[in-house]
Amino acid sequence: MRPVSPLPAHLETIPFTVAEARAASLSRGRLRSSDLASAGRLLYVPAGWDFELPAMARAVSAATPGAWISHVTAARLLGLWLPPWLQDSRVLHLSKTRALPPVRRDGVVGHTVLVREGETMDWEGVHISTPARTWLDLCRLLPLEHAVAIGDQLVRQPRDGLELRTTPWATVQELRGLLKRHPKMQGIVKARAAVELIRVGADSAPETFLRLALVDAGLPEPELQVRIVAGDPYSPSADLGYRARRIAIQYDGGHHLTREQQSRDNRRDACFHSAGWRYFKFNADDRANDFRRAAGLVRAALREP
């Protein structure tokens, strides 16, 4: 038996399309070899390939002219927050305009949508919906508080030196404009409600959930990123708070468990206490209780003279 010729180096470890195979001079017979497997119509993967979302998304997008990666898949690729039940989803979401045939591919959820200019983009070789459009698509699928959390993530200011980008994914005004362009889209009512609740300053979804829980409990809406000395970028800050009442509120997520972060947290906590602020710290246990205890403690603090 004639030995199988090796694959070109650029196709050895990734899914690829028939068009890419032809461009690499791979014959039909070579595509039927045992070291390759079909990944659906016009797609092949090396045998034993370990699933990798960006590579599969690129190949599926390339194999479906006119389509783009959207919804949950776009959110995962862009690094947007998603609820736990979607964070590891391997189902690919692919959108097309109404002028094209519907998507029919195993392992792919197809969407037929109305899209406006500027609502898709090229991202690391993948045709994908923009972060703002991804948020709008997800509004139909997720509870309101989750839509708000993703919106908060879009409008937050990235931390200097800690993130690759330097500007927000979108502004609240841009999200409002997006909604005006799609007045009849499914989920638009929820999206309109969400955009009214989106605020600049939340660094994580639990911070958003905590803010919403305090408001739902009838408390005044807290400020975000409250510094001991207003306007001083070097002054310690808390996630939320009420400056006029000198109340600071912090949500400690998983990253606060490292020794380095705990040292920084301890210094920040000491600064607030020394400055005479009432200072509260909440965590995942409080989140699991829908922040009911948190709301009670903050309400009591607000009633104090």
Q: Provide the residue ranges of all domains of the chain, joining segments of one domain with +.
A: 9-46, 53-195, 205-303
CA dihedral 7, 10, 16, 20 (to 10 degrees): -90
Q: Is the per-residue pLDDT at 165 higher than 90? A: no
Beta bridge partners of 251: 282
CA dihedral 46, 51, 55, 57 (to 10 degrees): 120
CB 140 within 8 A of CB 149: no
Question: Which of the two residues, 162 and 291, has the higher pLDDT score?
Answer: 291
Q: Over range 66-74, report the average pLDDT.
A: 96
| Order of strands, sheet of 237-242, starting from the edge strand that comes earlier in the sequence | 223-227, 237-242, 247-251, 278-282
Q: What percent of the chain has pLDDT over 70?
A: 97
What is the radius of gyration, based on Cα positions, of the chain? 24
Exposure of 303 in the CB half-sphere (CA atoms within 13 A):
6
Where is 126: in which H helix or E strand?
strand 126-129
Exposure of 69 in the CB half-sphere (CA atoms within 13 A):
30
Residue 121: predicted pLDDT: 97
φ, ψ for residue 50, nearest 5 deg: -85, 130
Question: Which of the two residues, 256 and 191, has the higher pLDDT score?
Answer: 191
Q: Is the per-residue pLDDT at 104 higher than 90? A: no
Q: Over range 98-105, report the average pLDDT.
A: 86
Kind of pairing between the strands at 120-123 and 223-227: unpaired
Q: What is the pLDDT of residues 219-238, one digit of tens each?
A: 999 999 999 999 898 899 99
Q: Is the per-residue pLDDT at 110 higher than 60? A: yes
Of 4-13, 93-102, 173-182, 245-254, the poorest mean pLDDT is in 4-13
58: helix, strand or coil = helix
Concatenating the DSSP letter of every residue in 9-50 gives: GGGSSS-EEHHHHHHTT--HHHHTSTTEEE-STTEEEETTPP
Q: Is the per-residue pLDDT at 260 higher than 80? A: no
Q: Is the per-residue pLDDT at 89 higher than 80? A: yes
Q: Which CATH architecture has domain 205-303?
A: 3-Layer(aba) Sandwich (3.40)
Q: What is the pLDDT of residues 149-163, one digit of tens each?
A: 999 999 999 987 777
Q: 239 exposed, middle or buried (CB, 10 Å; 0-12, 13-18, 19+)?
A: buried
Task: Give the whole-angstrom CA distance, residue 171 versus residue 198.
Answer: 10
Residue 256: predicted pLDDT: 53
Spatial CA neighbour of 200 closest among 219, 172, 176, 177: 172
Task: Say how far residue 58 (Cα) sits from the centre of its chain.
Answer: 19
Q: Band of the pLDDT at 266, cuts 50, 70, 90?
A: confident
Q: Over range 273-289, report the average pLDDT.
A: 94
Question: Which of the two residues, 130 and 253, has the higher pLDDT score?
Answer: 130
Task: Give the whole-angstrom CA distance, residue 229 versus residue 223.
Answer: 14
Tokens of 34: 């045992």
CB 111 within 8 A of CB 74: no
Q: Is the per-residue pLDDT at 64 higher than 80? A: yes
Task: Give the whole-angstrom CA distance, residue 190 versus residue 192.
Answer: 5
Task: Give the whole-angstrom CA distance, residue 133 versus residue 118.
Answer: 9
Residue 213: predicted pLDDT: 98
Q: Is the per-residue pLDDT at 291 higher than 90? A: yes
Q: Is the per-residue pLDDT at 188 higher than 90? A: yes
Q: Band of the pLDDT at 5, cuts 50, 70, 90?
A: confident
Residue 2: predicted pLDDT: 59
| Order of strands, sheet of 16-17, starting from the edge strand that comes earlier in the sequence | 16-17, 43-46, 36-38
CB 211 within 8 A of CB 199: yes
Residue 254: predicted pLDDT: 61
Residue 259: predicted pLDDT: 67
Question: Which of the two residues, 275 and 257, has the higher pLDDT score?
Answer: 275
